[in-house]
Structure 1
Amino acid sequence: MTDRSDIGGAVDWSFAADVGAKLSRPGPATTDYTRDQVIAQLHDSARTAELPVREVTHLNEGAEVPDARVIDRPQWVRAATRSMRVMTGAAEAAGKGPVGALTAKVTGAQTGAVLAFISSGILGQYDPFGPDQGELLLVYPNVIAVERQLRVKPADFRLWVCLHEVTHRVQFRANPWLAEHMSSSLAVLTDDGGEQAGDVIGRLAEYVRAQRGGTPVDANSAGVLGLLRAVQTEPQRRALDRLLVLGTLLEGHAEHVMDAVGPAVVPTVATIRRRFDERRQRKQPPLQRIIRTLLGFDAKLNQYTRGKVFVDEVVARVGMERFNAIWTDAETLPLPSEIEEPQRWIDRVL
């Protein structure tokens, strides 16, 4: 198997961070008072959200409540590149030799440009590969931009955002094995296994023929994701499925917790949820829609919906305490087919 440091070494991460930070768009215009106020309130909201999230999830009870890190867009880009470098096991140095270094610079520039685009849409993120065994990041310019766009009560919206992101922090801190599970799946996903280009091209041609022949496809085999799967080996496809299912579970669980906790601690939660969902479903300009598809944003939204339905149904049938068997180890995570049919997971695991 390819060493993960070889994978990460193909990118000059420091250059990616510099490029991404420079290309990231400035946040919305705001006064120093408003900026300081939202930063302070996001810190407070992250702490306030922890207890109700623990009470609903029955996870991480009694553990220390770490501080969140409230940052701007360039700082998020730098945090993301650091996390990606750690996740891929890369050393700080770029590729070996002048050709390798040049390739790493080019790939770094491309990575930085993508992260710059993403940086304007991230409200918050729990980074399990960050310092001190993970850190919660909250991007305050984006929070300001969205709460203005939605015309919602700022204090309520900030706490609502923190409920989602704090749930991710609780998930990973209560179950430290999740980070290694993600990392090991990524290692398989990025392993070329010494494959010949002809093998990859053959699988791609087979995929194209199937699409032209009108072969039925599911959500995981359509569009860009289908193209990715078409050029993968079978172990890589299984690794991708593991990552997709884990992402669907984590996002769905966080959405479930937001709705379970929200009414008790966020007075205007119904308005926020309605307007936020409307924003998610709003049509984008053609170019932006293409970019969002290529970067997997639409697949991410699908994860929220499918994952929440799964968690809602399982918790309704067996309760949160028994649902938490899902966090035991990799074998108790749902299979791809079980996401769509929660009773199959209940029958297999419980």
Structure 2
Amino acid sequence: MNLYRSARAVAGASGDDMIDWRSAASAAKAATEPGTLDLEAGERDAYARDVRDAREAVRTVADVEFDVPDTIEIQNRHHWIDANIATFERVMGTLENQMPASTFPGVARTVNTGTMTVLLSFLGRNVLGQYDPLLLAETPDDDHALYFVRPNILNAADKLDVDAERFRRWIAFHEVTHAAEFGAAPWLSAHLEARMENGIAALSDGSFSRESFRELDAAMTVVEGYAELLMDHAFDDEYADLRRKLDARRQGRGPLQQLFRRLLGLGLKERQYERGKHFFETVVDARGLETASLVWEGPENLPTHDELDEPGLWLRRIER
């Protein structure tokens, strides 16, 4: 880690964009220890086996055909930053194209680049695994991807005092459930992209699209909740202790880390998980897993905000 080199990269931000993405990536990596990728004998095969087993288990439970991404990477923290910088650039670029020019573009670029550096560095140190559907990709046929950040997985397993192989397998199952969702619903990526673009367009006009945010939040709540539903049925081990310890670790973070989590919307993601889990548990108890899977037949089957809190309303609408 070299904070001086990181600061120099931010200070040297240049170009015509509101963020110098190359400088942000360089600065974030300079501020972040990469972690080791010295794989033990058989470890790469173990990752592949976990993904393969998860795919077969989820296929059986969900009764849906899907495949895992062709791109499956075991990464260090620097690799994760490099893999995600393009995603951040796509999202922010959509906003930038609609923003008015800054009075002091050089100053704004440096501040924005520094902010992105801090966020990338924080995420690079904390993300365990990631299913990336490559939203807003330039080419719609771009393949999705699956990443495992090995140093973070090992570090978290050590701090949680859990078996690293069991923890890694749990992460693999969770990310593969997301691949199953996007495989079961080919329309989902376009649905999420449209809500993101509408929300960004409203922000660029100085307004806030409550409807776009609510629809995006509802869809992501379904994504998180259904993933947990599949985990409950597909994972070949008890994992309540893993979830409990991970939640306790999040709650025990310091004030600065808690602030970053709020800025990045990670608290919102946890609320989506809890809310979505309750919705699907209620639906499955009432009608079974097959009925719960009807959410993926089309965007019109996604529950509304009100239906997420009252699953009976969704059931009555779907079963008409």
TM-score category of the 2 structures, normalised to the smaller one: 0.7 to 0.9
* Residue aligning to 2:6: none
1:147 aligns with 2:157: yes
SS at match of 2:253: coil
CA distance in 2, matches of 1:194, 1:75: 31
Check conservation: 2:229, 2:280, Cα contact below 8 A.
Answer: yes
Q: Which moved more, 1:322-331 or 1:307-316?
A: 322-331
* Residue aligning to 2:288: 319
CA distance in 1, matches of 2:253, 2:204: 40
* Residue aligning to 2:38: 32
Matches within 5 A, 1:187-226: 187-192=197-202, 195=205
1:300 aligns with 2:269: yes
SS at match of 2:126: coil
The Cα of 1:129 is off from its aligned counterpart by 0.8
CA distance in 2, matches of 1:21, 1:194: 30
CA distance in 1, matches of 2:32, 2:226: 30
The Cα of 1:270 is off from its aligned counterpart by 4.2
The Cα of 1:22 is off from its aligned counterpart by 2.2
SS at match of 1:190: helix
* Residue aligning to 2:210: 237
Correspondent of 2:169 among 159, 162, 167:
159
CA distances 1:134-177 after superposition (whole Å, capped 9, x unpaired)? 11111111110111112222222111111110011111123222
CA distance in 2, matches of 1:71, 1:286: 28
The Cα of 1:126 is off from its aligned counterpart by 0.9
The Cα of 1:271 is off from its aligned counterpart by 3.5
Unaligned stretches of 5+ residues in structure 2: 1-15
CA distances 1:258-283 after superposition (whole Å, capped 9, x unpaired)? 12222xx23x5343334334334x33
CA distances 1:230-286 after superposition (whole Å, capped 9, x unpaired)? xx43xx111111121111111111112112222xx23x5343334334334x33222
The Cα of 1:127 is off from its aligned counterpart by 0.8
Check conservation: 1:17, 1:77, Cα contact below 8 A.
Answer: yes
The Cα of 1:192 is off from its aligned counterpart by 4.2
* Residue aligning to 2:75: 71
Correspondent of 2:84 among 74, 80, 83:
80
* Residue aligning to 1:112: 117
Distance 1:101 1:79, change over 3 A: farther
Q: Percent identity?
A: 30
Q: CA RMSD in A?
A: 3.1
TM-score, normalized by length of structure 2?
Answer: 0.81
Check conservation: 2:69, 2:145, Cα contact below 8 A.
Answer: no
Unaligned stretches of 5+ residues in structure 1: 1-7, 201-231
Check conservation: 2:73, 2:147, Cα contact below 8 A.
Answer: yes
